[in-house]
Structures are given as structure tokens and as C-alpha cells.
Amino acid sequence: MKTEIRFVVKLKYAKSISRVVALLGDHTLDDLHEIIYAAFDRYDEHLYSFYFPKQRVGRKDPPPKEFTSPHMLEDPGQFGIDEELFDASKTRLDSLGLKIGDTFEYLFDFGDKWMHELKVKSIGPVEQEQQYPAVIEKKGDSPPQYPDCDE
């Protein structure tokens, strides 16, 4: 049976700007990246990563697992990466063991560092009329992908 998973996605440094997106459990983290990309009106692709679980400040827990763009995995050495990376395009959402209330982070564009906080809002039955993945709700205007440095 297919499952719908809804996420609240907030910009980490502008939490009043958020999106609710819905995907199916058999979608991948790469699909989640694509719907967030569309939801925030981005137009120029960049590398990205998801971090599970969200790193807690001041904790000595092991570092979060990093699920990244398949392009990062082509030659991780060029990025100076020495830890294990996981392929977001091969990681299905239903394989992550997500529960309502779980949080994790998403980084888009390693140069401009668009950091997002994601929270699992709901997990439930598929809505028959809904197309997936989907942007369900938008709060606040999307900031420009490349803010004007003169402003």
C-alpha cells in the first residue's frame, strides 16, 4: 500500500518562509530535493545534501548521515570529502523509518548555503486526486536565489 508523507520545509534563517510538500513513500530524497527546488522558485541547479538526523548543537553524538546529489558521488575527492556519503537518488523515503515529528536538514547550494529544516508533518493514505510530488501550501514569498548584493 502506498503512503503519502508530508513535510514542512522552512528556511533555517527565515522560518516565517515555509512550504508544505507531499510525496509518496516510494519517492526518493532526490525527488524531495526537486519538489523543494520548485517550491522555492529556484531556477539554477546546484549540489545539495540531506542530513539525518539534524545535528544538535553542543552534542557529541555521531555526525549525521549525509545523503547527497548523485553528482557529488561522481568524484567526492574533488570536494575534499572523506566521510561516507549516500546517494539521494537511490534512497527511498520509506526506507528512512520516518515518523511524524522527525526533523532533518537540507542544504541547497554549497556556496550560498541555503539551509532548510524539514519536519515530518504527516504520514498517511494517498489522496486519490492528488498528483505527487506536490507543493501543498506556501507561506511567505520565496527569496531570490541570488540576492542582489547592492541591497
The CATH number given to whatever domain includes residue 46 is 3.10.290.30
Domain count, the chain: 1
Model pTM? 0.88
User: Quick one: which of 11, 28, 29 has its CA closest to 145?
Assistant: 11
**Surface-to-core class of residue 22, CB atoms within 10 Å of its CB (0-12 exposed, 13-18 middle, 19+ buried):** buried
Structural domain harbouring 64 = 3-139
Cβ atoms within 10 Å of 46's Cβ, excluding its own: 16
Tell whether 36 is covered by a domain: yes
Q: Is residue 54 part of a domain?
A: yes
Is residue 149 included in any domain, yes or no?
no
Is residue 67, in this structure, part of any structural domain at all? yes
Q: Is residue 145 part of a domain?
A: no
Query: Is position 43 within any domain?
Result: yes
What is the predicted pLDDT for the residue at 22? 98
For the record, the C-alpha cell of 113 comes out as: 548555503
Mean pLDDT per 10-residue interval, the chain, length 151 residues: 95 92 98 97 89 67 84 67 83 96 92 90 93 96 73 43
Distance from C-alpha of 25 to C-alpha of 12, rounded to nearest angstrom: 25
